[in-house]
Structure 1
Amino acid sequence: MVLMRAAGLMIMSMAILLGSTFGAAIGIVNVGQIRKLAAKNNVSGVLVFGDSSVDPGNNNHLATTFKGNFPPYGKDFFRGQPTGRFSNGRLPTDFVAEALGYSEVVPAFLDPNVKPKDLLRAVSFASAASGYDDLTANLTNVLPVWKQLEYLKHYIMRMRRLEGERGTKEMIKNAIFVISMGTNDFLQNYFLEPKRQKQFTVQQYVDYLVTCMIRDVKEMHRIGATRLVVVGVPPLGCMPLVKTVMDSTVCVDKYNMPAHSLNTKIKNSLATLAEELKLKSAFGDVYGAIVDAVNNPKKYGFTETSKGCCGTGTYEYGDTCKGQITCKDHSKYVFWDAVHPTEKMYQIIAANILNTVQSQILG
């Protein structure tokens, strides 16, 4: 029974990530090979930190308005249930965890219905609207990175009861840590609030965010991390919300340039950190994946790259999305709301991350 279920999960993963659209668009993601390499390298699970790109519902349990636990979010999730994920279905880390052979979904650490044993192989501490800059999270009353890391320590204490001291230490050492954030530092903080603009130029703020990222990685390493994936920032200027606010029909350079700069500096700093701390690391290129989908939609089977599926598709996300859905075929859309990608776009992003993990961490 166990073997049949494992085989079924493998087939499902390959169908999700190797279907004709994705196979033709992004190349083959060999799930079987990835799982063999994960086993060979004793990969113990996936631990996730970040913002709404990887928050499966932690914000449901916070006193914040930044939640996605209502329709139409979750429309294409299992049983059509909204979970707090800001998409119509699963997130990139859900697909990554499944491809590695652990779980079809990554549970939220703050979910009171999740049992400790369900968190053994995959868990997310991420909080929608968070960022590298602690001020970003404070503006919206969500979890800053330091608090996410505090919850990691609570998680480790729970795991000790199940796995013992030695087993838990090995589990943390062999887990793949994933960090995905940065969008809100610009959209909800720097370009919206005056405080950071008075302190930093755009490029100075980019440097500040990199400093914050380095601080966080060093703390993760101190706790026990040895394998790390940092997912880059998407092309902010291609989001429907930004294009609407800037009254543009094309991607806006003013927002894309700092995102691209941050990605470049994070990638370079990550390589230096990996050498300094003896980490196995990888950089997940979300920016390139979305830009390619926007510029070459037919390649991926998309027809709409400028609007989301929610309301007018031009500015709605979060609360303003509640109960509204206008598109008929979600698979044709890059964006689900005016900020967040569809599940299909997240599948493409997950495939990029998996290929990078295979070559740079597991290879």
Structure 2
Amino acid sequence: MGVSCFLLACLFLLSLGLIHVINGQPLVPAFILFGDSIVDQGNNNNLETLVKANFPPYGRDYPKHIPTGRFCNGKLASDFTAENLGFNSSPPAYLSHAAKGKHLLIGANFASASSGYYDLTAKLFNTIPLSTQLEYYKEYQKKVVKLVGKVNATSFINGSVHFVSAGSSDFLQNYFVNPLLFEAYTPHQFSDILIQSYAKFVQELYELGARKIGVTTLPPIGCVPAAITIFGGEGSNKCVEKLNKAAIYFNRKLNATSLKLQQKLSGLNLVVLDIYQPLLDLVTHPTDHGFFEARRACCGTGLVETSFLCNAESPGTCKNATEYVFWDGFHPTEAANQVLSDDLLAAGLSLIG
């Protein structure tokens, strides 16, 4: 299909989507999320962990200016994706009070900040590893069966979009700061371990009925403010090459493994959503996208703060986050998330067919 035909097809599907939204009917039965802080909407609020974002200034630009546990000043890219799918709200964090009854029929969010494909990453921070997120998902499916019956539940799960975002914490919060790992494995070897875990996770989702699965690549992890501060040397403003090289290798393996899974598992629609290049573009050419600051984050000094280090008393926090690519040392602002979500939309359309 030529580029112009593809774009016309995308516009046509979008127009169909708008009709569904107007009629109050989402494009898919539910939106189900797994992963780390990029998509965590508040599960960590209910854990005994330091990795939380349920206090100001997090959430200051979110509706009603409430800190929800999202690692952002406002909405996440997954919030915008839920809107693009036609949902009036994002699926509830599974450990929240909202995750009960009919609220579960728009999906559920199992993600946990500081989680990853490597289960020990989550265990270091007492957060929810992917293996446990999967157990919660099995529990969730039983609740859906009680709500709609077994036959309807099967169709419900088959038609729902499952979204996975993980891997960044495995590198930034574990591998590159953990001598037990970086002295035992090269970055490529560690990537291979993560990819094996990813493949196992997708196969388990498939066995549980998931047929529409979107997975994000790693972002340019060497370009986040905290990574440059910690690994880039004093006064550095450049992305850390060794970290980005690790991400590029991982992404190459992710694409190859996903293709094999697609060929192996009948009826699986597995789409790799590239977040590396769109975020790299924002970092290297911020003004092209309406941003003015890509090295420093909005919160505090903007060099390293995240989670409890980014708080209401953090000196220097910016007044207008729309000018910044990053909200804290690791996470994009709502404005950047909007751009990233829009960039992923065309690729994500193939999941709703």
Common fold by TM > 0.5: yes
Instruction: Classify the secondary structure of the residue corresponding to 2:173.
Output: helix
Q: Tell me if structure 2 keeps the 8 A contact 1:106–1:123.
A: yes
Match of 1:224 in 2: 209
What is the TM-score with the length of structure 2 in the denominator?
Answer: 0.90
Query: Are 2:78 and 1:90 aligned?
Result: no
Match of 2:325 in 1: 334
Instruction: Classify the secondary structure of the residue corresponding to 2:213.
Output: strand
Query: Are 2:51 and 1:32 aligned?
Result: no
Match of 1:297 in 2: 286
Query: Mapping of 1:57-72 within 5 angstroms?
Result: 57-72=42-57
Deviation at 1:298, TM superposition (A): 1.7
CA distance in 2, matches of 1:28, 1:255: 36
Query: Are 2:93 and 1:108 aligned?
Result: yes
- Farther-moved stretch of structure 1 (258-267 vs 112-121): 112-121
Q: How many residues align?
A: 336
Query: Mapping of 1:1-363 within 5 angstroms?
Result: 31-34=14-17, 43-245=28-230, 246-247=232-233, 248-278=236-266, 279-323=268-312, 324=314, 326-358=317-349, 360-362=350-352
Greater helix percent: which structure? 1
Deviation at 1:36, TM superposition (A): 5.9
Match of 2:4 in 1: none
Superimposed CA distance per residue, residues 305-359 of structure 1 (whole angstroms, 9 cap, x where no aligned partner): 001111100011110101136212211100000110001111112112221111x
CA distance in 2, matches of 1:215, 1:45: 23
Gapped runs of 5+ residues in structure 1? 1-26
Are residues 58 and 41 of structure 1, via their aligned partners in 2, closer, same or farther at CA, if it must alter by over 3 Å? closer
Instruction: Classify the secondary structure of the residue corresponding to 1:143.
Output: coil
CA distance in 1, matches of 2:60, 2:27: 35
CA distance in 2, matches of 1:29, 1:255: 39
Deviation at 1:31, TM superposition (A): 4.3
Instruction: Classify the secondary structure of the residue corresponding to 1:49.
Output: strand
CA distance in 2, matches of 1:331, 1:284: 24
**Runs of 4 or more off by more than 4 Å in structure 1?**
27-31, 35-42
- Farther-moved stretch of structure 1 (296-305 vs 325-334): 325-334
Q: Tell me if structure 2 keeps the 8 A contact 1:58–1:127.
A: yes
- Farther-moved stretch of structure 1 (35-44 vs 204-213): 35-44
Q: Tell me if structure 2 keeps the 8 A contact 1:46–1:176.
A: yes
CA distance in 1, matches of 2:11, 2:145: 38
Specify the code of the residue in structure 1 equivalent to 2:252. T
Are residues 68 and 42 of structure 1, via their aligned partners in 2, closer, same or farther at CA, if it must alter by over 3 Å? closer
Q: Tell me if structure 1 keeps the 8 A contact 2:305–2:328.
A: yes
Q: Tell me if structure 2 keeps the 8 A contact 1:203–1:258.
A: yes
Q: Tell me if structure 1 keeps the 8 A contact 2:32–2:107.
A: yes
Q: Tell me if structure 1 keeps the 8 A contact 2:43–2:69.
A: yes
CA distance in 1, matches of 2:30, 2:43: 19
Superimposed CA distance per residue, residues 165-210 of structure 1 (whole angstroms, 9 cap, x where no aligned partner): 1111111111111000100100111111122223311111111111
Gapped runs of 5+ residues in structure 2? 1-9
What is the TM-score with the length of structure 1 in the denominator?
Answer: 0.88
Superimposed CA distance per residue, residues 125-145 of structure 1 (whole angstroms, 9 cap, x where no aligned partner): 000000000111111111111
Instruction: Classify the secondary structure of the residue corresponding to 1:346.
Output: helix
Superimposed CA distance per residue, residues 151-175 of structure 1 (whole angstroms, 9 cap, x where no aligned partner): 0011111111211111111111111
